[in-house]
């Protein structure tokens, strides 16, 4: 099993869109996929047409309580798509950061949470909250790869610098930068990308272009590969998955 965390310290950059699209493409390619919605906004849960859970057992599961693990597993639900399951956002997700901060080893709690998927899935995609709290830090540490999602803007560059400074995992080699909402002919976008590349960051070769089709994705509450299957946006996300799957050696899991 491999764990892919989608993360940003800044909201509104396409992090959840990336999580949902990659999880859906993974499932369509035959990988048993679980999407963990750990963002307290619950947007991934909403996009996959699922209701939030009243209590998902994650806080107790983080402590290693067997009842908590059993309850958390019972909250995993199927989606409208074959091979794609979801652990939806729940009210308890809000308390998870506080629970982990009270533990001597928060990463152990994160490992227990991610371990809920062990044996049943090939890929776990985690949609993390845009914060530098213990939940984000510990899950990032326990993940196999991290995608730091950002737009080609100075505010996003600032968020990347802050994340690298405050969260050791983001500065490590297992983290790759994904640029979204890129306008390919806009000089300021190209300059921002070039700047990030020059600062010893691993920038993914795939860039996600800015497109109104992502609004259609929200309107239809369906991944871009279904809401606009023949679009460049869909092609970009397929190319991104191919790039990431090679990093994770997913083909070895078939």
Hey, which bits of the chain come out as E strands? 2-7, 33-37, 77-78, 84-87, 123-127, 145-150, 175-179
- Write down the pTM of the prediction: 0.95
CB 45 within 8 A of CB 164: no
pLDDT of residue 5: 97
Tens-of-pLDDT digits for all 254 residues of the chain?
999 999 999 999 999 999 999 999 999 999 999 999 999 899 999 999 998 877 668 888 888 888 888 888 988 999 999 999 999 998 778 888 888 888 889 899 999 999 999 999 999 999 999 999 999 999 999 999 999 999 999 999 999 999 998 888 887 889 999 999 999 999 999 999 999 999 989 999 999 999 999 999 999 999 999 999 999 999 999 999 999 999 999 988 87
Domains of the chain: 2-253 (3.40.50.300)
Residue 222, both tokens: 């369906």
Residue 156, both tokens: 């996003």
Distance CA 76, CA 231 (A): 31
pLDDT of residue 3: 97
pLDDT of residue 92: 79
The three-class DSSP label of residue 174 is coil
pLDDT of residue 56: 66
Residue 241 exposure: Cα atoms within 13 Å on the Cβ side = 23
H helices present in 29-85, as ranges: 43-47, 58-62, 66-74
CB 24 within 8 A of CB 42: no
């Amino acid at each position: 099993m491999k764990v892919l965390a989608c993360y940003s310290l800044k909201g509104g950059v396409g992090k959840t869109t990336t999580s949902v699209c990659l999880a859906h493409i993974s499932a369509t390619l035959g990988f048993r996929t679980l999407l963990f919605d750990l963002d307290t906004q619950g947007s991934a849960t909403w996009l996959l047409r699922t209701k939030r859970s009243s209590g998902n057992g994650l806080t107790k599961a983080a402590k290693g309580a067997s009842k908590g693990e059993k309850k958390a597993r019972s909250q995993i639900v199927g989606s409208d798509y074959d091979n794609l399951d979801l652990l939806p956002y729940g009210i308890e997700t809000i308390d998870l950061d506080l629970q982990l901060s009270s533990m001597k080893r928060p990463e152990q709690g994160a490992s227990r949470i991610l371990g809920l998927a062990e044996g049943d899935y090939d890929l776990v995609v985690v949609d993390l909250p845009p914060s530098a709290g213990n939940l984000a830090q510990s899950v990032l540490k326990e993940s196999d790869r991290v995608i730091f999602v950002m737009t080609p803007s100075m505010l996003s560059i600032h968020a990347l610098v802050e994340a690298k400074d405050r969260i050791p995992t983001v500065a490590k080699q297992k983290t790759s930068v994904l640029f979204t909402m890129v306008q390919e002919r806009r000089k300021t976008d190209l300059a921002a990308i070039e700047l990030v590349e020059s600062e010893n960051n691993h920038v993914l070769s795939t860039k996600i272009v800015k497109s109104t089709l992502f609004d259609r994705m929200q309107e239809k509450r369906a991944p871009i590969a279904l809401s606009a299957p023949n679009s460049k946006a869909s092609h970009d996300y397929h190319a991104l998955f191919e790039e990431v799957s090679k990093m994770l050696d997913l083909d070895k899991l078939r």
